[in-house]
Structure formats: C-alpha cells, structure tokens
Structure 1
Amino acid sequence: MKELIEYILQFGNLNGQQINLIQKKATEIQLHKDSYFSEAGKTPSQVGFIIEGVIRGCYYNNKGEEITRCFVSENSLVVDYVNFEANTSSSEYLQACTDCKLIVFSKQNWEELSHTIVGWDAIKNKMVQSCMYQKSRKGPVVSQDATTRYLAFLENYPSLSNRVLLAHVASYLGVTQQSLSRIRNNIR
C-alpha cells in the first residue's frame, strides 16, 4: 500500500485522514499469469495499481491476429480508463504477462473518493494523464525499421525483455517471432 500512496502523492497533497480513506477503499489482489484484469466485450469495473508484475494491453485485429498494444509494469496505474469512465464495453484485453500483485479500486470506491476527498479529481486527472502519456509515448513507431523499434523497446522497457513472452514482444513490435529472434542475435 505504501507504493500506491507514494505514487498518488507525486500528483498532489493529502492529509492523513484522506490517505486512510484511500487505503480503506483499496483491496490488494493477486492476478495469475495469463489471467485478465479486464476483457474485451465487458465494461471495465476496476482501477488497478501494479505493485509487482507486468500486464499487457492487447486486442484482435480484423484478421483475428492478437496484437500487443502496450505493457504496464510496477508503480503504474492499469485501467482501460476511457471505457471505465464512460461505462462502456472495452475493445481490448488487459492480461497478466507474469504473476501480479495489484491494489485495486472498484468503480464505486473510486468514485466515492471523488465525492469525499477535496482535490481528488485534480490528483486523479494528473495520474490518468501520466498513465495515458506513458502508453502513447512508448508505442513503437511503425516507420522505423524493426531493429530500431526493438532497441527503443529495450530503452523504454529495460526490465521487460526477460519477463514477458517473446511472442508478445514481437506482436508489440509488429514483427514475427523469427524476425525478432534474428534481431536479438544480431544485436548480441
């Protein structure tokens, strides 16, 4: 819980009573590898904060191929926020790449914080903006060659290459697993 509070306090000030309320509204959960935090076709119902582990955002394209859009790791929020806020069904999956430990807020508890804590909306908006910026900034640039995209992946996600499946990294980079293996061998 300490990690979550430290994260939140980067975005605004809270007193002890407000921090206690946040801790009471949160629940710690375990999410096993390959389990879903949220699923396509369902309305996202919770906001998570990753203490340990990696979650990936993925979807299926019109050819039925699984595409990894992003990776989210420790000390980050994880949520399909647009659909969470709009109460609409998601078009993507948030799936655990590793066993994960998360602190989660139900939709009701997340909204209660807005009604109870003065200034929570400003803090929440800054956290969500940071989360959205990280996801968009770290996406591979399709116009770059595959080696450059892989090197950018290693720079943006230095601890992930040995923690997530090669298939997920290849999908994220928009290359085949064989191509990624060749790239990795050429870099060594």
Structure 2
Amino acid sequence: MMKYFGSAYKFGSLGGLFCLVSFLFLAWLYGDPTNLNLVFGYIIVPIVIFLAIKYFKDYTNEGMLSFSEGMSVGFVAYMILGIISGLGIWLVLLISDDLFQSILSAKLQILAENKDMIIGQVGEKSFDTTKNSINEMTALDVALNDSLWKIIPGLFFTIIISIILRKTQ
C-alpha cells in the first residue's frame, strides 16, 4: 500500500491545498464561497486523480497499470484532497466567525428569495425543515459538505481515469 500512497499523497495534498486557497480567495471576493468552491472542486479533482495515476503508472510502476492499481492510487489521492480541503475549511470557519455568518446569511437569503417556488415544489413543511436545518448549520457541516462533494465525484472520476490509463502486459 505504501507504493500507492507514495505516488498519490503529493497530488492529493497539493489538490487539497489548492481547494483551500480557492475557498479563501472566493471568500475574499464573495460572501458565500461554498458553491463556487464546489465548482472549482469539480475541476481540480479529476486533474489531481489523473496526475496521481499517470505519475504512478509512468514513474513507479514502469508504464504498467491495472484497474485495481489505478483505483487504489485514485482513492488515496481524492481522499487526501477531500480531507485536507475539509479540515482547512473547518479551521478557517472556526477562526473567522464573520465568514461563517456571511455564508449562513447568504444561504438564508437565497432560501427566502426562492420561498414561493420551493413551497410550490416540495411544500411548506419541507421549506420549514430546510430553513431550520440552515439555522442549525455549523462550521463542521460546511466543511463536511465540501469534503463529501470532492470525495464522491472522486470515485467516479477514478473509475473512468483508471479505465482510460489501464495498461497491462
């Protein structure tokens, strides 16, 4: 397993740091950086996975790559990326309560602006449940959401990239 970890931790760590920097930069530009940071994550996650698997294939495994090796390297890369990104965002939100309150108020404002449409689609009870959930949201919830939306797509990107880069004897 160390063979896979050694090839993937560099790219996963770098990707996680990029996601954290993206969050900070977007927080500086906008009140709620969470949605745009998710979009950035959809761009960076496949790049990180591709680079990690390609590096493993070319420099560690002598140009060969089985599907399982690609999945292992990709798993390590996207898990590290998601963990670093989530932990970093959580720490930033714990330190900066103003940023967390800005995110919370932006989400409540969007909910209020779309109240009629939401009630028309899912009903008053669901709207109230969503509003209560947002009011009870914590910094950890924001960080976990960010991490999950990097880890879950990472699995699908890893499957596709592992199939594309697979080369056996």
**Larger CA Rg, structure 1 vs 2:** 2
More strand by share: 1
Q: TM-score, normalised by structure 1?
A: 0.27
Higher relative contact order (CA 8 A, sep 6+): 2
Q: TM-score, normalised by structure 2?
A: 0.29
